[in-house]
């Protein structure tokens, strides 16, 4: 009798795990970069290629660094949220246009509004590699010392902004 119960027992154990798994988000991948200094770079700006943007310019401020691209569908979802956020002035938002063309990117910003104080052009995706970009969009919270405090993979949502990003930004700004 006992050995005939074994399949049932194994199955029930598996169900427990599946149940817990339902409440976890597989996309929430910890980044090895969290707690480490944001990789340095200097890239031409989207609006004016003669000017460069570097995270060095941002030392002393808490800021959001949003990696996006005009070809990315999910970026379309988060875009209005970023536009709202930048209007609110709570935290400066900078962007990096990842593996994209200047024309497409500028057209995209004209259509959807520009939430970024400045956008760096990472046309060949080199800097993206240093940041461990899995897929676009990704958003980093970087503190006054230039340390990455948080990484959001996938689009920023109202919920993640309210529950994670903004409280964290407030705490870091107070430091």
Partner 1 sequence: MIPEIGHFSLILALLVALALGVFPIIGAASGNAVWMGLARPLARAQFLLIAIAFVCLAYAFATMDYSVTYVATNSNSKLPIQFRIAAIWGGHEGSLLLWAMILSVWTVAVSLFSKHLPDDMRARILGVMGLISVGFLLFMLMVSNPFERLIPAALDGRDLNPLLQDPGMIFHPPMLYMGYVGFSVAFSFAIAALLGGQLDAAWARWSRPWTTMAWVFLTLGIMGGSNWAYYELGWGGWWFWDAVENASFMPWLVGTALIHSLAVTEKRGSFKAWTVLLAICAFSLSLLGTFLVRSGVLTSVHAFATDPRRGLFILVFLVVVIGGSLALFAWRAPTVGRGGKFDVVSRESFLLANNVLLAVAAFSVLLGTLYPLFLDALGLGKISVGPPYFDTVFAPLMTPALFLMGIGPIARWKKSSLPELALRLRWAFGVSVATAMLLPLLLGHWTPMIGLGLFLSFWIFASSAHLVYQRLRGTDQQLITRIKAIPRSWWGMVIAHLGIAVFTLGVTIVKGFESEIAVRMLPGEVAHLAGYDFTFKGVEEIQGPNYTASRGQLLVTKNGVERTILSTEKRLYTVQNMPMTEAGISPALIHDLYASLGEPLADGAWSVRLYHKPMVEWIWAGCAMMALGGLLALSDKRYRMRKRLKKEGELKSNEALA
Q: Check binding of 22 to partner 1 (CB under 8 A).
A: yes
CA 59/CA 36 separation, integer angstroms:
14
Q: How far is the CB of 45 from partner 1 (least distance, A)?
A: 20
Which is closer to partner 1, CB of 1 or CB of 174? 1
CA 175/CA 171 separation, integer angstroms:
7
Residue list 96-115, contact with partner 1 (CB under 8 A)? 99
Q: Check binding of 8 to partner 1 (CB under 8 A).
A: yes
Q: Are 91 and 62 in contact (CB under 8 A)?
A: yes
Q: Tokens representing 102?
A: 């200047």
Cα 20 to Cα 13, 77, 97, 116: the distances in Å are 11, 28, 37, 38
Which is closer to partner 1, CB of 28 or CB of 48? 28
Q: Are 156 and 165 in contact (CB under 8 A)?
A: yes
Nearest to 164 by CA among 175, 151, 173: 151
Q: Check binding of 26 to partner 1 (CB under 8 A).
A: yes
Which residue of 38, 46, 67, 70 would you call a contact of partner 1, by CB under 8 A?
A: 70
Q: Check binding of 7 to partner 1 (CB under 8 A).
A: yes
Q: How far is the CB of 26 from partner 1 (least distance, A)?
A: 4
Interface with partner 1 (CB under 8 A): 1, 4-5, 7-8, 11-12, 14-15, 17-24, 26-30, 70-73, 99
């Amino acid at each position: 009798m006992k050995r005939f119960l074994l399949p049932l027992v194994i199955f029930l154990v598996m169900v427990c795990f599946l149940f817990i798994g339902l409440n976890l988000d597989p996309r929430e991948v910890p980044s090895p970069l969290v707690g480490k200094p944001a990789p340095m770079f200097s890239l031409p700006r989207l609006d004016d290629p003669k000017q460069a943007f570097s995270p060095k310019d941002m030392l002393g401020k808490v800021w959001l660094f949003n990696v996006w691209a005009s070809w990315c569908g999910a970026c379309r979802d988060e875009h209005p949220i970023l536009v709202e956020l930048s209007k609110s002035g709570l935290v400066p938002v900078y962007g990096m246009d990842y593996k994209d063309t200047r024309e497409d990117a500028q057209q995209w910003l004209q259509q959807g509004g520009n939430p970024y104080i400045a956008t760096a052009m990472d046309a060949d995706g080199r800097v993206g590699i240093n940041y461990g970009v899995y897929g676009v969009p990704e958003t980093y919270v970087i503190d006054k010392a230039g340390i990455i405090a948080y990484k959001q993979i996938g689009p920023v949502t109202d919920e993640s902004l309210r529950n994670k990003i903004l409280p964290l930004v407030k705490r870091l700004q107070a430091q």
